[in-house]
Structure 1
Amino acid sequence: MTDDRSSPADPDESPDSEQSASREASSEETEASDATDRLSIADFHDASQEVGRPVLTAAAVSRALDLTHEAASEALENLADGGDLQRLSVGTDPVVWYPSELEDLTDRERVVVFPKRREIVVDRPAQFTRAQLSQFAHLADANGDDGYRYVVRPEDVWGTPHDSFDALRRTMRQAIGERSDALEDWVQSQWDRAHQFRLTTHEEGYTVLKARSAEIMGNVARQKLDEEHVHAPISDTEDWVREGAEAAIKRILYEAGYPVQDHRDLESGEALPIDLEVRLRDYQRTWVDRFAEAGEGVFVGPPGSGKTVAAMGAMAHVEGETLVLVPSRDLARQWAETIADFTSLEPHQIGQYHGGRKEVRPVTIATYQIAGMDRHRSLFDDREWGLVIFDECQHVPSDVYRRSTHLQSRHRLGLSASPIREDDRQQEIFTLVGPPIGTDWEALFEAGFVAEPELEIRYVPWGDEEQANAYASAEGREKYRIAARNRGKVDEVRYLLSAHPDSKALVFVDYLEQGRDIAAALDVPFLSGETPHHERRRLLDEFRRTERDLLVVSRVGDEGIDLPTADLAIVASGLGGSRRQGTQRAGRTMRPAGGALVYVLATRGTREEDFARRQLQHLGRKGITVREETVDRDGDREDR
């Protein structure tokens, strides 16, 4: 009986079960319908970002967006019917989906925004698009095949040249071609951060730190600053700043994510009319205009892009007494000569202040070391500068150079080909000097203003067994030193010079002994820090006049002197140096004349291989093609 009763369906429960199943099915259908209605091409891009590829299956979309497979499939079909997606049958998984714009990548510009990563990927961008993007984003990567990856960083938003967020938002939409609410919301949050604090001058002459609200003053500034920075509160939103603490306050709040607007009434010093006697290129004029709007900034551009001339354009705008800070006396002399050549200033208005000369004039060029010394600083502190220029400003965060940033002026300007530091303190460059202002390298290459050099890493075998055995038994830094001084590189330098007999060439080394050996083998001068200044000047002048076509140069050539342009640069050692050093050495060939070559020699099978790739990697991101080639003992070369 029990079996008989249990076999048929219970008449009392059956209708409820059917109704429950019906409700569940209806709920699933509603969910699928809702998903179909709300799935957009932007959602597809989000899924693509999460999965890490632009071509997706329905299963991948369902997992990424937490949908049923049926709902995802139907939504994808709807997007395909609307023309946003394309479908392709590939066999094992019957259909894959991809954005329609992927079909015509080769024919037109395409912009894809990844708001979660704050990245903008652009294929075949128009010059207008790149110009707009450069106002609020950083060019992080250029793959050499017309593909560009921009990253929107806080410092890019903080330094944007716009007077209002509405103006910045218009620029973003012009660059991207559409509205991206998530990215715009984040950019607005950074814009708001950049306008929470400002330094002003009280009517009695002292400096005041002002906050937009009492909450931001109490929760940020008064938590981060102490009696070394401020005397006392003036109100809920104002603090009385200690004299000389302004730079430290700007740095501390910048690191906390709140850049300070500097609205102090600094003196401009004596008026100094300056006419620029050379025409600025369009991008240089843009740099100067952006500097004029902000009152400060860092001109960032590759070697050869004319940062020095643009800086003189800034001098002509300010028309005030100017202090130029440089790393060495050689650069001080070259700055003085360039200013005399390209502006209306007379030689008696231009002074140099360093170990060789002690002149303070309306325009003074001094070394960082001298400007930071207590016994000399008063000379610079007592003068009211309208503008302070920091050449090679990537050095500014270092302990030696930082003291020079305490000098106060109405305007400040930095120059750098590569504002990066191996100690990751590059953000301090922008807090101590000003926001980055520049044009992406690829645009300058395309316009012909700067020649794109051809870079090639050449993996060289050991010159003899003795050095190879010494490397195998060495440890730590000694391994790098032995690999760097591989005597096989002398033969490779000879080979490269013979392959380019008509080139003006510079051979770079890190070690004095290696430099002397290569110079002796080639019977040419070796220019190093030990070379007397008058001899150094003579050799460089001969190279400029093409009376000499080959020099071996030590690290002194990286930044301390203004080396003349070369057609050929060979880096025989120095791969353990910084990424900035790689930029500087490559930059010795980056001038409007084309056909420049840079060869980087690395000892095969050693740590130098990794050093070479890492040092030049960031140049590859800027659009420069980097090749690799292995050199065999018998002289044959094998491309990688």
Structure 2
Amino acid sequence: MSDGPLIVQSDKTLLLDIDHILSDECRRAIAAFAELEKSPEHIHTYRLTPLGLWNARASGHDAEQVIDVLLKYSRYAVPHSLLVDIAETMSRYGRLRLEAHPVHGLILVSNDPAVLKEVTRGKKVAPMLGKQLDEETIVVHPGQRGFLKQALLKLGWPAEDFAGYVDGEHHEISLKQDGWKIRKYQELAAEGFWHGGSGVVVLPCGAGKTIVGAAAMAHAKATTLILVTNTVAARQWREELLKRTDLNADDIGEYS
């Protein structure tokens, strides 16, 4: 415990005193595993969620590192029950794995047969699975990869995906920084996404997630499918890509 900038609460919220001399250092440290909820003038509120902790685990952070950050920057004693919960939650990541099999295609694997047995009893998971090859391996039906990962998340058992991806069709694309410049955190987010192979970019509203997406496309240099919730969002993406990259109007197709 120290006179740190962070107040860690038992309800899994983190309150960051942004006027503290160590606030920027602390913010960078907790950004790897905590989600920003509110950012008023003096106190920013972050929250620890299973998804945030699992994303951190996928990025190479373990429970010990997360706990060390909280203990280092916390102004008061960190609730012991919260530390136990963090360790237990993060230990669930990677107990299930999706892998490519030369004969059976996509398979779900676990070195813990009890975990595999538990998830296969799930009503939404069972229809996505095929033949059980052994006590640690079961076949996944083609086309169910994404749906299965979502279902496993809801059950609290996130699968680590080692099945790989098919390379997309090459399409040259570069950022066109004419009258603007990508910010450092946007560049780091795009690089982290690209080098990680996949992931979720979490940024506040107005922080430039579209620019991060364009930068990731520039890393990939491949034909890219962008899914949005409505036509307005599709048009916004189109306008931003034309403004921020060297793509022209004929390079971008819209399906709505």
- Using the size of structure 2 for normalisation, the TM-score is 0.81
**CA deviation string 1:24-51 (max 9, x = no partner):** xxxxxxxxxxxxxxxxxx7xxxxxxxxx
Which residue identity does 1:252 align to in structure 2? A
C-alpha displacement at 1:171, in angstroms?
A: 4.1
Q: 1:246 is matched with which residue: 122, 145, 151? A: 145
Task: Quote the residue 2:184 is aligned against.
Answer: 282
Task: Quote the residue 2:94 is aligned against.
Answer: 195
C-alpha displacement at 1:120, in angstroms?
A: 2.9
Inter-partner Cα distance in structure 2 for 1:332 and 1:148? 31
Is 2:96–2:110's contact at 8 Å kept on the other side of the alignment?
yes
Inter-partner Cα distance in structure 2 for 1:338 and 1:349? 13
Of structures 1 and 2, the one with the larger relative CO (CA 8 A, separation 6+) is 2
Task: Quote the residue 2:49 is aligned against.
Answer: 153
Listed as ranges, the gaps of 5+ residues in structure 1 are: 1-41, 43-83, 85-100, 102-108, 354-366, 368-640
Is 1:132–1:172's contact at 8 Å kept on the other side of the alignment?
no
Q: 1:135 is matched with which residue: 25, 29, 32? A: 32
Inter-partner Cα distance in structure 1 for 2:202 and 2:105? 30
Q: Which runs of structure 2 are paired with 1:88-487 in the superposition (5 Å)? A: 110-114=5-9, 116-123=10-17, 124-125=19-20, 126-142=23-39, 144=41, 146-160=42-56, 162-165=59-62, 166-176=64-74, 180=78, 182=80, 183-204=82-103, 206-218=105-117, 220-224=118-122, 227-278=126-177, 279-292=181-194, 293=196, 295-302=198-205, 304-353=206-255, 367=256
Inter-partner Cα distance in structure 2 for 1:254 and 1:241? 16
Inter-partner Cα distance in structure 2 for 1:264 and 1:187? 27
Q: 1:152 to 1:337 in 2, by over 3 A?
A: closer
C-alpha displacement at 1:237, in angstroms?
A: 1.2
Aligned residues: 245
Percent identity among equivalent residues?
Answer: 22
C-alpha displacement at 1:198, in angstroms?
A: 1.9
C-alpha displacement at 1:112, in angstroms?
A: 3.1
Secondary structure at the aligned position of 2:108 is classed as strand
Secondary structure at the aligned position of 1:322 is classed as coil
Listed as ranges, the gaps of 5+ residues in structure 2 are: none
Is 2:7–2:75's contact at 8 Å kept on the other side of the alignment?
no
Inter-partner Cα distance in structure 2 for 1:238 and 1:200? 10
C-alpha displacement at 1:282, in angstroms?
A: 1.7
C-alpha displacement at 1:240, in angstroms?
A: 0.1
Q: 1:179 to 1:236 in 2, by over 3 A?
A: farther
C-alpha displacement at 1:153, in angstroms?
A: 1.8
Inter-partner Cα distance in structure 1 for 2:74 and 2:236? 43
C-alpha displacement at 1:176, in angstroms?
A: 3.5
Secondary structure at the aligned position of 1:244 is classed as coil
Secondary structure at the aligned position of 2:44 is classed as strand
Q: 1:318 to 1:221 in 2, by over 3 A?
A: same
C-alpha displacement at 1:233, in angstroms?
A: 0.7
Inter-partner Cα distance in structure 2 for 1:253 and 1:189? 16
Is 1:139–1:148's contact at 8 Å kept on the other side of the alignment?
yes
Q: 1:177 to 1:203 in 2, by over 3 A?
A: farther
**CA deviation string 1:495-540 (max 9, x = no partner):** xxxxxxxxxxxxxxxxxxxxxxxxxxxxxxxxxxxxxxxxxxxxxx
C-alpha displacement at 1:211, in angstroms?
A: 1.6
C-alpha displacement at 1:140, in angstroms?
A: 3.8
Secondary structure at the aligned position of 2:253 is classed as strand
**CA deviation string 1:118-152 (max 9, x = no partner):** 333333342121221222223344553x2234332
**CA deviation string 1:414-443 (max 9, x = no partner):** xxxxxxxxxxxxxxxxxxxxxxxxxxxxxx
CA-based RMSD:
2.9
Which residue identity does 1:311 align to in structure 2? G
Inter-partner Cα distance in structure 2 for 1:350 and 1:150? 37
C-alpha displacement at 1:315, in angstroms?
A: 0.8
Inter-partner Cα distance in structure 1 for 2:252 and 2:38? 41
Secondary structure at the aligned position of 2:121 is classed as helix
Which residue identity does 2:55 align to in structure 1? G
Which residue identity does 1:349 align to in structure 2? D
Inter-partner Cα distance in structure 2 for 1:244 and 1:149? 39
**CA deviation string 1:538-558 (max 9, x = no partner):** xxxxxxxxxxxxxxxxxxxxx
Which residue identity does 1:204 align to in structure 2? V
Is 1:230–1:242's contact at 8 Å kept on the other side of the alignment?
yes
Secondary structure at the aligned position of 2:143 is classed as coil
Is 2:97–2:161's contact at 8 Å kept on the other side of the alignment?
yes
- Using the size of structure 1 for normalisation, the TM-score is 0.35
Which residue identity does 1:118 align to in structure 2? K
Secondary structure at the aligned position of 2:225 is classed as strand
Secondary structure at the aligned position of 1:112 is classed as strand
Is 1:228–1:245's contact at 8 Å kept on the other side of the alignment?
no
Inter-partner Cα distance in structure 2 for 1:322 and 1:195? 28
Is 2:5–2:26's contact at 8 Å kept on the other side of the alignment?
no
Is 1:214–1:236's contact at 8 Å kept on the other side of the alignment?
yes
Q: Which runs of structure 2 are paired with 1:459-538 in the superposition (5 Å)? A: none
C-alpha displacement at 1:331, in angstroms?
A: 4.3
Is 1:132–1:175's contact at 8 Å kept on the other side of the alignment?
no
Q: 1:227 to 1:327 in 2, by over 3 A?
A: closer
Inter-partner Cα distance in structure 2 for 1:259 and 1:222? 13
Is 1:194–1:261's contact at 8 Å kept on the other side of the alignment?
yes
Inter-partner Cα distance in structure 2 for 1:351 and 1:118? 43
Is 1:129–1:174's contact at 8 Å kept on the other side of the alignment?
no
